[in-house]
Amino acid sequence: MIDLNLITYMNEELRRTPTQFRRYMYDDILWEDRMVGIVGPRGVGKSTMVKQHILHQGDKERWLYVSADNSFFYNNSLISLADEWIKENGSHIVIDEVHKYKGWSQELKQIYDTHPQLQIIFTGSSVLDIHQGVADLSRRALMFSMQGMSFREFLNMEKQIEIPVYSLKDILNHEVSVPLDFHPLPYFREYIRRGYYPFSSQPGYGIRLQQVMIQTLEVDIPQYAGMNVATSRKLARLLSILSGQAPYKPNMSRLSVELSVSKNDLPDYLGYLEKAGLIGLLRDETGGLRGLGKVEKVFVDNPNLMYALQGVETNIGNVRETFFYNQMRVKNDVVAAKTTDFRIGDNVFEVGGAKKGQKQLDNNPYGIVVRDDIEQGFGNVVPLWQFGLNY
Lowest-confidence segment of 30-34, 40-44, 178-182, 241-245 by average pLDDT: 241-245
Task: Give percent of the chain with pLDDT exceeding 70.
Answer: 96
Q: Which amino acid is residue 331, in one-letter code?
A: K
Q: Is the dihedral of CA 138, 139, 141, 142 positive or negative?
A: positive
26-40, 162-176, 292-306, range with the lowest pLDDT: 292-306
Q: pLDDT (tens digit, 9 = 90+) per residue, 99-115?
A: 889 889 899 999 999 99
- Please write the tens of the pLDDT for every residue from 294-349: 899 999 999 999 999 998 889 999 999 999 999 999 999 999 998 999 999 999 99
Return the pLDDT at 225.
73
Q: Which residue type, as a one-letter code, is found at position 280?
A: G
Check pLDDT > 70 for residue 218. Answer: yes
pLDDT at position 133: 45
In the prediction, which pLDDT does 287 show? 59
Radius of gyration of the chain (CA): 22
| Residue 30: pLDDT band with limits 50, 70, 90 | very high
Q: pLDDT-based confidence at 245, cuts 50/70/90? A: confident
Strands 63-67 and 35-40: unpaired
Are 138 and 130 within 8 A, CB to CB?
yes
What's the average model confidence in pLDDT over 63-91?
96
User: What's the predicted TM-score (pTM) here?
Assistant: 0.92
Q: Cα 363 to the chain's mean position, in Å?
A: 35
pLDDT range class, residue 219, cuts 50, 70, 90: confident
User: Of 24-28, 30-34, 130-134, 358-362, where does mean pLDDT reach its minimum?
Assistant: 130-134
> Which of 83, 20, 96, 97 lies closest to 52, judged by CA?
20
Percent of the chain predicted with pLDDT > 90: 75
Contacts of 277 (CB under 8 A, 6+ apart): 40, 41, 42, 44, 126, 147, 148, 216, 301
Number of Cβ atoms within 10 Å of the Cβ of 22: 18
pLDDT interval class at 208 (50, 70, 90): very high
User: What mean pLDDT comes out for the span 147-152?
Assistant: 98
Give the span between the Cα atoms of 83 and 205, in whole angstroms: 41
Q: Calculate the CA 302 to chain-centre distance.
A: 10
pLDDT of 21 reads 95
**Does the pLDDT value for residue 224 go beyond 80?**
no
Summary mean pLDDT of the chain: 92
pLDDT for res 131: 47
> pLDDT band for position 134 (50/70/90)?
low
Alpha-helical (H) ranges within the chain are 4-15, 46-55, 78-87, 104-114, 135-138, 151-159, 168-172, 184-194, 205-215, 221-225, 229-243, 252-259, 266-275, 303-310, 316-328
Residue 166, judged by CB atoms within 10 A of its CB (0-12, 13-18, 19+), counts as buried
The mean pLDDT of 199-221, rounded to a whole number, is 91
Confidence of residue 155 (pLDDT cuts 50, 70, 90): very high
* Beta pairing class for 342-344 and 295-300: unpaired
CB 145 within 8 A of CB 41: no
| Stretch among 71-80, 192-201, 249-258, 368-377 having the lowest mean pLDDT | 249-258
Distance CA 224, CA 128 (A): 7
pLDDT of residue 13: 97
30 burial type by CB count under 10 A (0-12 exposed, 13-18 middle, 19+ buried): exposed
Please answer whether residues 198 and 45 qualify as being in contact, where contact means their C-beta atoms are separated by less than 8 angstroms.
Answer: yes
**Across residues 204-232, what is the average pLDDT?**
87
Give tens-digit pLDDT for 261-288: 888 889 989 999 999 999 999 998 775 5
Question: Is residue 136 predicted with pLDDT exceeding 80?
Answer: no
Of 45-49, 178-182, 207-211, 221-225, least confident by mean pLDDT is: 221-225
- Residue 363 in this model has a pLDDT that exceeds 90: no
